[in-house]
Structure 1
């Protein structure tokens, strides 16, 4: 199933309305995030900034999915292909953690997965403003960082 990808300006306009709707409706949603390790084994990992919503915050690539249609591993494989043009089979991903949160006003079940990227080069979709390979979160300086990025890095030992 192909998901519709909206241009970044459209996403920026509708994001506040979506957050308000989530607070009123409180839907149950499912999401995935990926800690992608650099293929050279250096320990570097990929961080991204989205082009909508909180555009200054560094986080992990990922997105939403419907558990009735795909597994978390299938969903993150799809999201990585759509957002970064990286081809990784679902079997390449290992679950690090699954958490339930109400941070955005909705009941969100988020699965954080890890895999080794198939290559260093990525091609960003309109959803992403920037991507960087880093060794540690401190390399991002004083920029805001997603709590899910911190959680994923803490699971790597």
Structure 2
């Protein structure tokens, strides 16, 4: 049996429902974002634009996780495989940890560096676009809007080299 893919419209609906829940309940969340390094050129990284929320922003792939069930490194790897179908090496490093208050809820965000095995990606419906780009972001098209987490991750990556 072939699993059904969720269409982009479904992700947008789930996004709005989740945001409404968070505004009411304000649960503490745990999230990961992954800085994926190109398999051949360590000065290239993989950025995504989601099919929900602010679709103009370039971001790091990632999502939520439960610390009792998996480590941040495991969660980052899982999210990248789910969202991008990308194959990754076993090497993973937590670059940064942040306390956040996004949407009025307390959160813990970890940025994890992963290395791709190949540059092949096959995004699911959650991803509107995935692109390998220079770490200095000069080859993103147009006047790109990049989240602050991307800049933070790139700085931490440069310092960890």
Tell me whether the two structures share a fold, i.e. TM-score over 0.5.
yes
Provide the C-alpha distance between the structure 2 equivalents of 1:150 and 1:24, rounded to a whole number of angstroms.
31
Q: Counterpart in 2 of 1:152?
A: 153
CA spacing shift, 1:75–1:42, aligned 2, 3 Å: closer
Q: Counterpart in 2 of 1:121?
A: 120
The 5-angstrom pairing of residues 134-149 of structure 1 reads: 134-135=133-134, 136-140=136-140, 141-149=142-150
Q: Is the contact made by 2:11 and 2:125 (CA closer than 8 Å) also made in structure 1? A: no
Q: Would you say 1:111 and 2:110 are equivalent positions?
A: yes
Structure with a larger share of its residues in strand = 2
Q: How far does residue 42 in structure 1 lie from its aligned partner after superposition?
A: 4.4
Q: How far does residue 41 in structure 1 lie from its aligned partner after superposition?
A: 2.6
Q: What do residues 85-109 of structure 1 show as CA deviations (whole Å, max 9, x unaligned)?
A: 12335x4110100101012222111
Q: Counterpart in 1 of 2:81?
A: 81
RMSD between superposed Cα atoms in Å? 1.8
Q: How far does residue 144 in structure 1 lie from its aligned partner after superposition?
A: 1.7
Provide the C-alpha distance between the structure 2 equivalents of 1:118 and 1:7, rounded to a whole number of angstroms.
27
Q: Scaled by the length of structure 1, what TM-score is found?
A: 0.89
Provide the C-alpha distance between the structure 2 equivalents of 1:42 and 1:110, rounded to a whole number of angstroms.
24
CA spacing shift, 1:39–1:142, aligned 2, 3 Å: same
The 5-angstrom pairing of residues 1-157 of structure 1 reads: 6-88=6-88, 91-135=90-134, 136-140=136-140, 141-157=142-158
Q: Scaled by the length of structure 2, what TM-score is found?
A: 0.87
Q: How far does residue 22 in structure 1 lie from its aligned partner after superposition?
A: 1.3
The structure 1 segments of at least 4 consecutive aligned residues displaced by more than 6 Å after TM superposition are: none
Question: Could you list the runs of 5+ residues in structure 1 that have no partner in the other structure?
Answer: none
Q: Is the contact made by 1:19 and 1:105 (CA closer than 8 Å) also made in structure 2? A: no
Q: Is the contact made by 1:32 and 1:64 (CA closer than 8 Å) also made in structure 2? A: yes
